Every structure is written in C-alpha cells, then in structure tokens.
Amino acid sequence: MRDAATAENRPYHHGDLRRALVEAARRILESEGPSALSLRAVAREAGVSPAAPYHHFKDKGELLDAVAHVGWDMLGDSMRAARDQATDVRHAMTEIGVAYVQFAQQHPALYRVMYDASRDKVALPEGMKSEDSAYCLVQDAFRLAAGPDVPEMDVELATIAAWCAGHGLAEMSAFHQFDALKQAVGGEENFLRAVLSHMGMFPTPHPTGAG
Amino acid sequence: MRDAATAENRPYHHGDLRRALVEAARRILESEGPSALSLRAVAREAGVSPAAPYHHFKDKGELLDAVAHVGWDMLGDSMRAARDQATDVRHAMTEIGVAYVQFAQQHPALYRVMYDASRDKVALPEGMKSEDSAYCLVQDAFRLAAGPDVPEMDVELATIAAWCAGHGLAEMSAFHQFDALKQAVGGEENFLRAVLSHMGMFPTPHPTGAG
DNA sequence: CACGGATCTGAACGGCGTCAAGATCAATCT
DNA sequence: AGATTGATCTTGACGCCGTTCAGATCCGTG
C-alpha cells in the first residue's frame, strides 16, 4: 500500500500514479466536497507536483472522467445487489430505484461528478450506458417486468422515464426544504418510497400509508 | 438604455450597475455558456472594474443567486402560460411539465445556474418555492386535478414526484444519446410527451401512439 | 460650500489549469 | 558493461480566477 505517501520516502517515479490520483480525488471528494476538487489538490494529496497528472490524463476533465467511471461501477453494483435481493420482478424496479437514490445520498459529491463529467459530452459516459452497465440493468428489469407483449419502444421510454425520475429525486432529496415532510412520513427511506410510488413505474404495496 | 457601454463615455458612477451586472451575466450565459461566467467576465461585459460588483453583491454566489432569481421568474411565467392555455384541469399538468422541460432546453445555461445556485443552500431558492412561484403553481395544479378527497400529503408527494421527474427529464434530454429515439417518436416535443406519459402523473390522450 | 457616504478604480494576494524545459530513472540495445 | 532512449516527474512560468484594500470620484445633504 503505497498510495498515500509522505513525498519523501518515495522514489522519483511513482509506479502507479494514475490509480493513486483517482483514489486521491475520491478521498478529497468524500472529505471536502466537489468544490475542493482541484487538479493541484489531487496532486498534493497524491504527493506529486501539480504537473505530474498531465502524464496520465490529457486534462482535468479526463481525470474527472476516470473518477466518474469508478462511480458508475459502484452504482451498478448497488443496483444489481438491490435487484437480486428483490423477490418480485415488479418490485425489483422499486428496489433498484431506492438503491439508486440512496447511492446518490451516500456519495453526493461523487454523484455530482458523475453527471458533471457527462453533461457536455455527445455520448453518455462509458459506465452509464455501455452494455452491462447501470442503464441496461434498468432496461432489462423493465423488459422483464413488462413481459413480451409490450413493444420495445415502450420499454425504452419507460426506462428513460424511470431514470429521469430517479435522477431528479436524487438531486432533489439533497434539498433541505423537504426535511419536515421526510419526518412526517417516517424517515428518509419512507420518503423515497412514497415519492417513487407516485411516479407510476415504481409499484409499491402501500402507496403512502395514508390512503 | 445604458447597460452595455464602451467604458469611456460613461460617468464614474454607473447608476444602475446591479441590474446591468445581472443582465451582463445573462448575456454571457446565452452566448458562451456557464463555464465562461466568471465574475471578472461579467464586470468586463458591463464595462466596470473587477472589484465593482462587490459593492452590489457579497460575492460571486450572490450574483448568481440574482441571475437564478430572474430565471425562476421566467420559468414561472412559462409554466403559468402553459397552464392557462390548457383546456382540461388534468391535462394542465402535462402542459406545465412540457413547458418546464422546454424552458430548460431553451435556456440550458440559465437552467443550470438556477439549480447550481440552490444546491448548497439550506432552503430552496426564493423564486422556486416562495408563494406564488413555480413550485406552488405545480402544487395548486395538482390540488385542483386531485379534487378535495385526496389528502394534502399525497398532493405534496405528487408535486415532489412531478417536479423530480420534470427536472430529471430536463437534464437528461440534453444528452445526445437519445437523439435516435427522439427522431423515432417524431421530434423533441413528442419525445418529451412520450416520456412524461410514462411517469404516472402526466396524463395524455395517447401514451405512445404505438399502444 | 464643506463633507460624509456611496460607488468605482488600481493594484495586489493566493489559488487555479496548463505548458515548456530540464531532471531522473527503467529498460533496451550494442 | 556502458550508452541511449523514452517514460515519468519537477521546476518555473503564464494568464485567469475570486477577493480584498487603499484611494479616487461623485452625489446628496447640512
């Protein structure tokens, strides 16, 4: 384990600086948030000079892409776990949605980087829509829940609708304006499930508990 | 009209610099995007020194707040117009949703600033959830469409669900990955309506055209 | 007309992303 | 072995950024 060193006992050449930089960036994200994530800070955290990252990434954006990639992998794992834990095919959708939003809540800074990195790109980021990724996981779940009679276009549209709804809820649930309501419905997770139940594509046994 | 001047024929004191700065910021947003929106660039565009804005705003964030405020007002107007144009109370929801997403598409940079400015705040931004604002407009529309029997909490949850869905779709529709699908359903607006129709709280006469 | 307060400028500070030139080291060739 | 090459890292610099502070300018009031 030589990632975080003190910059004195390490040789001139780092050995695995690329990975170390990505991990340093994640460390900064977790501890200080996205606004503190400068290229110089990452280099500092990794114990190298400000120019060193340029031998592994074209610019700051490429480093953020690498960080985002890790995030998409983590998110995919969370969603897969939630899907596999669900008993019902239809309820799997809801569990996946809850896992998605909870990931965003648990790693807000990383989640932000994941979307910021992909915003000004022509294609969606690698980890998001490439095969065997988070997006396809949702699409497969919808295909399975819909059955063979539903046309593929509706599956795709439903997937997009669910993804948009999940992303919107993920961003919105960070706002503190809803704190009172969260408490009223009995905590964060209940709030998520209640909102998702109003979204049409996330079936739940008892919508609100009040109806 | 003395907002954009050439910095030579203007007197030492600007007269209405606060408003001029906000307008300069909006001009930069429209023409060069959010990444070009530095405080110095805004001051340059307004024809004043880099330190001048500090006599009208505490820091850059406060200037962005003012810009965002204008955005929320504009968005509210768009949504109000869409609501008033709808014939049916239930379809009003859909028209409001379409107007919301279309606003985000027409003013992507401003829309980004509106949410960036409100992200790290305890309360939601002034223009968003204060009474007689965009959020309350949606809530009123839901209350009206739901009728008097639906409990207030469900109205609130449905409002949140719709807002999240609209925001998610607004951000997502900027990604170019869905371009093929947009073409397949017959254009941008049809795509929006198709996705919204899958979201449960936006009723439409013919969901996809295929079903 | 004096003057106090609001407004704006000019110069400066540290931090940022980025680049070019040089130092260092591992691997390869002779 | 010794020389060389190419990858990696450092140093130092550039221009831009947000922000601050002392001083210049001007408006309104006494």
More confident call, B200 vs A82: A82
> The whole model's pTM is what?
0.90
Residues of B in contact with A166 (CB under 8 A): 168
| Cα–Cα nearest to A45, from A60, A62, A31 | A31
Helix ranges restricted to H, chain A: 17-32, 39-46, 60-85, 89-106, 108-119, 126-129, 134-146, 152-172, 179-184, 188-197
- Vertex B11 angle, CA B9 and B15, to 5°: 120
Rounded, the Å distance between the CA of B40 and C1' of D16 is 9
CB contact under 8 A, B201 and A196: no
Answer yes or no: is A36 CB < 7 A from strand D.
Answer: no
Residues in chain A: 211
Asked if B202 and A199 count as a contact pair (C-beta separation under 8 A), the reply is no
Distance CA A86, CA A99 (A): 11
C-alpha A177/C-alpha B118 separation (Å) is 11
Q: Is B194 in Cβ contact with A157 (below 8 Å)?
A: yes
- Nearest-neighbour CA in chain A from B172: distance (Å): 7
Strand C proximal to B35 Cβ, under 7 A: no
The per-residue pLDDT for range A113-150, each reduced to its tens digit, is: 999 988 877 666 666 666 568 999 999 999 999 999 99
What pLDDT digit, counting tens, does each position of A89-118 carry? 888 999 999 999 999 999 999 999 999 988
Distance CA A171, CA A165 (A): 10
Quickly list DSSP for chain B: --SS--SSSS-SS-SSHHHHHHHHHHHHHHHH-GGG--HHHHHHHHTS-TTGGGGT-SSHHHHHHHHHHHHHHHHHHHHHHHHHH-SSHHHHHHHHHHHHHHHHHHSHHHHHHHHHHHHT-SSPPHHHHSTTSHHHHHHHHHHHHH-TTS-HHHHHHHHHHHHHHHHHHHHHTTSGGGHHHHHHTTSHHHHHHHHHHTTSSS--SSSSS--
Mutate to test the interface with B, among A100, A120, A157, A171 (most CBs of B within 10 A): A157
Looking at residue B12, its pLDDT comes to 64
Q: Which chain A residues are closer than 8 Å to B121 by Cβ?
A: 175-176
Q: Is the dihedral of CA A197, B146, B155, B70 positive or negative?
A: positive
Kindly report the nearest CA distance between residue B98 and chain A, in angstroms.
14
Task: Return the nearest residue to C6, CA–C1'.
Answer: B55
pLDDT, averaged across chain A:
88
Start-to-end Cα distance in chain B: 55
The residue type found at B108 is P
Amino acid making up residue B174: A
- In angstroms, the separation between the Cα of residue A11 and the nearest Cα of chain B is 38
CA distance A158 to A194: 19
DSSP state, A54? G
- Tens-of-pLDDT digits for all 211 residues of chain B? 333 333 345 666 777 999 999 999 999 999 999 999 999 999 999 999 999 999 999 999 999 999 999 999 999 999 999 999 999 988 899 999 999 999 999 999 999 999 998 887 766 666 566 656 899 999 999 999 999 999 999 999 999 999 999 999 999 988 888 888 999 999 999 999 999 999 988 876 654 443 3
Give strand C nucleotides closer than 7 A to any protein Cβ.
6-12, 15-21, 24-26
Distance A71 CA to C28 C1' (A): 39
From A127, A30, A153, A27, select the one nearest A69 (Cα to Cα). A127
Q: Is there a contact between B169 and A164 if contact means CB atoms under 8 Å apart?
A: yes
Among the listed residues B158, B163, B138, the one whose alpha carbon sits nearest the alpha carbon of residue B79 = B138
Other Cβ atoms closer than 10 A to A149: 6
- % of chain A exceeding 90 in pLDDT: 73
Q: What is the mean pLDDT of residues A25-46?
A: 98
